[in-house]
Amino acid sequence: MNRKKGDKGFESPRPYKLTHQVVCINNINFQRKSVVGYVELTIFPTVANLNRIKLNSKQCRIYRVRVNDLEAAFIYNDPTLEVCHHESKQRNLNYFSNAYAAAVSAVDPDAGNGELCIKVPSELWKHVDELKVLKVHINFSLDQPKGGLHFVVPDMEGNMAERGAHVFSCGYQNSTRFWFPCVDSYSELCTWKLEYTVDAAMVAVSNGDLVETVYTHDMRKKTFHYMLTIPTAASNISLAIGPFEILVDPYMHEVTHFCLPQLLPLLKHTTSYLHEVFEFYEEILTCRYPYSCFKTVFIDEAYVEVAAYASMSIFSTNLLHSAMIIDETPLTRRCLAQALAQQFFGCFISRMSWSDEWVLKGISGYIYGLWMKKTFGVNEYRHWIKQELDQIVAYELKTGGVLLHPIFGGGKEKDNPASHLHFSIKHPHTLSWEYYTMFQCKAHLVMRLIENRISMEFMLQVFNKLLSLASTASSQKFQSHMWSQMLVSTSGFLKSISNVSGKDIQPLIKQWVDQSGVVKFYGSFAFNRKRNVLELEIKQDYTSPGTQKYVGPLKVTVQELDGSFNHTLQIEENSLKHDIPCHSKSRRNKKKKIPLMNGEEVDMDLSAMDADSPLLWIRIDPDMSVLRKVEFEQSDFMWQYQLRYERDVVAQEEAILALEKFPTPASRLALTDILEQEQCFYRVRMLACFCLAKIANSMVSTWTGPPAMKSLFTRMFCCKTCPNIVKTNNFMNFQSYFLQKTMPVAMALLRDVHNLCPKEVLMFILDLIKYNDNRKNKFSDNYYRAELIDALANSVTPAVSVNNEVRTLDNLNPDVRLILEEITRFLNMEKLLPSYRHTITVSCLKAIRVLQKNGHVPSDPALFKSYAEYGHFVDVRIAALEAVVDYTKVDRSYEELQWLLSMVQNDPVPYIRHKILDMLTKNPPFTKNMESPLCNEALVDQLWKLMNSGTSHDWRLRCGAVDLYFTLFGLSRPSCLPLPELGLVLNLKEKKAVLNPTIIPESVANNQEPVISSNNHGQSVGFQNTFSNSQEEEEIDMDTVHDSQAFIYHHLNMLERPSTPGKEQSSGEITMHPVSAAPLSVFSKESNSSKHSDHHHHHHHEHKKKKKKHKHKHKHKHKHDTKEKEKDPFVFSNSPASARSIRSPSLSD
Amino acid sequence: MGFNVETLPAYAKRSQRMVITAPPVTNQPVTPKALTAGQNKPHPPHIPGHFPEFPDPHTYIKTPTYREPVSDYQVLREKAASQRRDVERALTRFMAKTGETQSLFKDDVSTFPLIAARPFTVPYLTALLPSELEMQQMEETDSSEQDEQTDTENLPLHMSTEEAGPEKENSSVLQQSSSLAGSRNGEENVIDNPYLRPVKKPKIRRKK
């Protein structure tokens, strides 16, 4: 939203205010996966002539709508079901993205739109004019929902409760419309009454307070009554129903935890820490948790690991763990803490518009960071910040920028703030998932930058202010206009900051929030001995995509002999060189301790230094107060000093990465020393392992002594008396544990002069496996064993292939035989004694793929495909699928690609579907501009269909399909497609046109035929149809409906139904229109250009056609499409006729 | 029985008769002189004198003899490792032989037999719950934790836990909670949580 507008407070895009909503689900059928219920919305008109009410609803079948007990007509139209209609030629992602953004816009609640348009009965018009209350009552049902509500029904004996069947709401951003009609916006708040009638053995968990549970008359079911009195957006409403085990938190009785049967012991352990997170947030925010209760539900087949909703969070059941598991514990706690942070900012405080999302994500991410710092320590926190910073920098440089606060002006293409992207950033639903992840990452980093500017104290005061305003507003039960105080906007947030801190952070906001891109610094220096001055040169690259120019202060820390000094440089337009006076003269004869930044004084061996310079090391922007990448040049000894003596873990990690380029004995020594330092942060030591392996490989010809790290490992973890045997496991010391896990993995990367893994190392790892003994250990060693398998995989080098013979057992390398022996045994043992999260199976599958890829074992996807099937643990499936994706790429297998794509369409688990697309995008079988036998027209059609209509039930999946399409074919028309018969391809992006040289006017290509025949059919029965849908099972394909009688009969049946049938109706998108036969009948004879435009128009309403001239070109047409959808909200270009709409012709016209 | 008694002598003197030689006279084994192993114990006072004497001490005295136990740590570990490996190998091979298998090589299905992947109806249960073996192990280690570990090799590692590293808080926080968990369980009976309340009976008038 526009910032000026925000200043005036919140303006609802709707001509009414919703104050209360009842959701009642009276029947849930697990067998049929169906839901029946009604909603009742209490709304107050804010304008006198309100005659249409627009609501959001997807995939629900709506039976009946009543407004104040009067039957009301309604239209159900969802342009996102199929984005481009009958678009068979273009296949151009640019076109699709525009059309998709337009379609999402057309139903965007933040623009006052919706899929469901209800006509206020004329009897009530007078009532409305007095701005009196309206109650909109909608009966609906859901049948086999494909998104929004996920059923998990294990296929086994017993009733649903015994089988552990459950259902839960899920989705990305506002997805509540998938399971009940509502105003699916984060900015429309209301109070809620939620009722769920479920089987007596089940529990329904939802938002707000459970008021009572009542049996039905037959005592076989019970109804859960929930009240949520804190105004909440529909998008924050959630539901989970299942035979859950209930655990009341022993520390906080208002908090209740739920898990699936048999997992109670794990639940107890997993949630035993939660109260500390509560305490932490309440303390720093000086604000009580806003809701009167909190519920955590752990479910299977989760859409995301953590989903936060008002007063409840839905977690993946795979986060549960027992006390024996080390690795999962911090991860799960982080998830819990994240979920809780979002309770305050995201659920309780909602946002005004999509462009304010960054504030919520930023604040919740920021306070989560504070929790991390407190819980895991400053080192872990700084390591995390560095990691996040590296990620966002890499992503922005790759894609061209992440914009936190997009402002949308006139809507012209030129103004598009994200023209470098292949999707629109105007709506959450058009965003690539990766972009959204990075968006969240940037948001919290920017919050941290704001904190740097105004201090943490002020920052927390601002948060407290937002929360107390919201909590005052939320208690105003009957003053719904006050509720907008619970919505945060960018401008409101910034105003708060300036009020509280009195500081102007506008430049910072302009740089990082209103603008995308990161800063890229290149630094180098020279020491001027005469002037005793450090001449620092800092260059910037601000021309590459994803970069921006930085102007402002930049901190540089110089460690000299006399101590550490901070300097703040002003980075200006044209000044590259900065002179920094040094404090110390170079004098090495004096034996003196050297003071560090933290006040510590240490002895150093200064012999490695340059005799003329007092400089030990230099750091640019040590506090990470700019979103940047720094490439700094300093000598190897400086990096070594930095690694040994700088106490900041980020500096140590930077030094380690830099030392990779200096394979010298001195680097080796520095790294080895760090490895041995128990005081050193364990992650730094782990990183040092890998760097040491790289250095050892570069130094292979001069390396002396045993393989790198071997003697170290022996000293740390092996028996004193028999150094070849590892001690029995004892993982009480977690730092040692992580190091013990990592070292073999890094060692396996060592290579000898022949580029093979040294035999000694392989034997060493095999011995570790052999002598591994966990009997006396308090903790599980499954992650350790998994990493030993990873180590085996790392030791594999490409097979020496004599000729291209098929790999058989006989010519198996003896080392590989040993490796394979272990993998076989491990994988088989997993079947008998499965490990936690099947980490060992996962590692074995990965290792087998490595063996295949290196030519030791015949490349074959069959094994992976069997592990990828539904019914395996999700981690195993992902590992197996990753192998299949890799196989598809390496072997260019069309069959496997098809297998993967069919899984994308049919797998029961949404996360798997998403992940396959994600993995295919990250490891694509081919990319644009690449010749590949896989790249053909059929694949283009298939993927197009997938993103156009096959994924309409899941925003994330659709965006994933778009990402894949982009990776494979790029933005413009896929190169593998023949130039269209129409002869003219207009490239919108480059404003180019290509004429097909092979064009023969009379020829009609194969792919056109179905279109023509469908049109003919349409004509013959007197319909102008728009059947090109494909995603519904009850699809009515015109090609197959040869019997027009049957066709009419079918639709008459439909029309007789008393309501808009959700599903069939969307598939049978028909509009009753007298046929405009003329343009169609001359279809094949007309000139090419008009033929083309026909294709794009025949699905529009007649009146639209009249408005347009037929002969304009593509470019104009697209604009028309988008514009008209926005301008005229009542034009349903593909309006599905329903019984209602026919009865109320005023609406459909 | 139909034989003529007269023919018996002739039969006895037939040429192919089997001659059973008389058993060789072995020397009567001389009862070895009772080896006196130590003095016979005199009767303790409560046994009357007419009772027989105690037998030789060697008949009831036990001299515990045993082989020197293999106390060599290396050998023990070696043995434990190879034993476990053999058992695992044998077991998995048996399982593979008796069930469906998958193979990495088309030409050879027996050298590296993989037990076929079998989907579960409820995959998360096996993946998340500790196996019985692990549960048992956990109980054992819990009880034996304070016990002195026989493996002295591990002691130094124990010690290092006590040393406060800079990241000590990391580990201590993770462990803290488990000890706290059980402490307040006793209060649960007074908890008023809506999910623990009894389910109400339906009202006579139907709720709207």
Of residues A344, A65, A58, A315, the one with CA closest to residue A184? A58
Q: How far is CA B201 from CA A82, A161, B207, in A?
A: 48, 21, 12
Q: Could you say which residues of chain A have pLDDT below 50?
A: 1-8, 410-415, 983-1149
Could you tell me which residues come within 8 angstroms of residue A937 by beta carbon, excluding any fewer than 6 positions away? A976, A977, A978, A1007
Whether residues A727 and B157 touch (CB distance < 8 A) is answered with: yes
In chain B, DSSP finds a helix count (H) and a strand count (E) of 7, 2
Quick one: which H or E segment has residue A874? helix A874-891
What do you get for the CA distance between the two ends of chain B, in Å?
Answer: 111
Scan residues 627-666 of A and list those with Cβ closer than 8 Å to B. none
What residues in A contact B169, CB-CB < 8 Å? 376-377
Chain centroid to Cα A964, Å, comes to 15
pLDDT band at B3 (very low <50, low <70, confident <90, very high): confident
Nearest to A272 among B73, B122, B181 (CB): B181
Whether residues B105 and A832 touch (CB distance < 8 A) is answered with: no
Whether residues B163 and A250 touch (CB distance < 8 A) is answered with: no
Compute the radius of gyration of chain B from its Cα atoms: 40
Whether A682 and chain B come into contact, CB under 8 Å, resolves to yes
Distance CA A451, CA A149 (A): 39
Task: Count CB neighbours of B2 within 10 A.
Answer: 3
Distance CA A981, CA A1101 (A): 26
What was the pLDDT predicted at B40?
73
Q: pLDDT tens digits, residue range B125-153?
A: 999 998 877 777 767 665 554 443 344 34
Whether A207 and chain B come into contact, CB under 8 Å, resolves to no
* Total-model pTM: 0.81
DSSP-derived secondary structure letter, B63: -
What was the pLDDT predicted at A813?
87
What was the pLDDT predicted at B140?
66
Distance CA A762, CA A759 (A): 5
What was the pLDDT predicted at B153?
40
Whether residues A825 and B170 touch (CB distance < 8 A) is answered with: no
Structure-token match 């462009």, residue found: A355
What residues in A contact B126, CB-CB < 8 Å? 834, 838, 873
Q: What does the block give as tokens for A737? A: 């544990």
A928: left (phi over 0), alpha (psi -120 to 50) or beta: beta
What residues in B contact A600, CB-CB < 8 Å? none
Q: If you measure CA to CA, which chain B residue comes closest to A374?
A: B169
Distance CA A789, CA A907 (A): 29
Scan residues 870-929 of A and list those with Cβ closer than 8 Å to B. 870-875
CA distance A575 to chain B (A): 41
Q: What does the block give as tokens for A65? A: 């709508």
Whether residues A780 and B130 touch (CB distance < 8 A) is answered with: yes
Whether residues A678 and B157 touch (CB distance < 8 A) is answered with: no
What was the pLDDT predicted at A1110?
44
Whether A384 and chain B come into contact, CB under 8 Å, resolves to no
Whether A1110 and chain B come into contact, CB under 8 Å, resolves to no
Distance CA A154, CA A142 (A): 20
What residues in B contact A733, CB-CB < 8 Å? 157, 160-161, 171
In chain A, DSSP finds a helix count (H) and a strand count (E) of 37, 35
Of residues A958, A963, A988, the one with CA closest to residue A973? A988
Q: How far is CA A99 from CA A104, A965, A1126, A1148, in A?
A: 9, 15, 12, 22
Whether residues A212 and B200 touch (CB distance < 8 A) is answered with: yes
What was the pLDDT predicted at B37?
62
Domains of chain A, earliest start first = 10-77+115-243 (2.60.40.1730), 354-512 (1.10.390), 519-626 (no CATH)
Nearest to B121 among A156, A293, A771 (CB): A156
Which of B115, B128, B151, B179 would best serve as a mutation to test chain A binding (most A beta carbons within 10 A)? B128
What was the pLDDT predicted at B97?
87
Task: Count CB neighbours of B154 within 10 A.
Answer: 18
Nearest to B185 among A155, A250, A733 (CB): A250
pLDDT band at B69 (very low <50, low <70, confident <90, very high): confident
Q: What is the DSSP string of A802-834?
A: SSSPPP-STT--HHHHHHHHHHHHHHHHHHHSP
What was the pLDDT predicted at A568?
94
CA distance A266 to chain B (A): 8
What was the pLDDT predicted at A980?
57
Q: Are A1002 and A1086 in contact (CB under 8 A)?
A: no
ipTM, 2 dp: 0.78
| φ, ψ of residue B66 in degrees (nearest 5) | -150, 160
Reduce the secondary structure of B164-207 to three states and give it as a string.
CCCCHHHHHHHHHHHHHHHHHHHHHHHCCCCCCCCCECCCCCCC
Strand partners, A488: A351
Structure-token match 């009454």, residue found: A193
Q: What does the block give as tokens for A98? A: 């525009």
Quick one: which H or E segment has residue A769? helix A759-771
What is the sign, positive or negative, of the torsion defined by CA atoms of A559, A563, A569, A575? negative
Q: How far is CA B113 from CA A198, B83, B102, in A?
A: 48, 21, 6
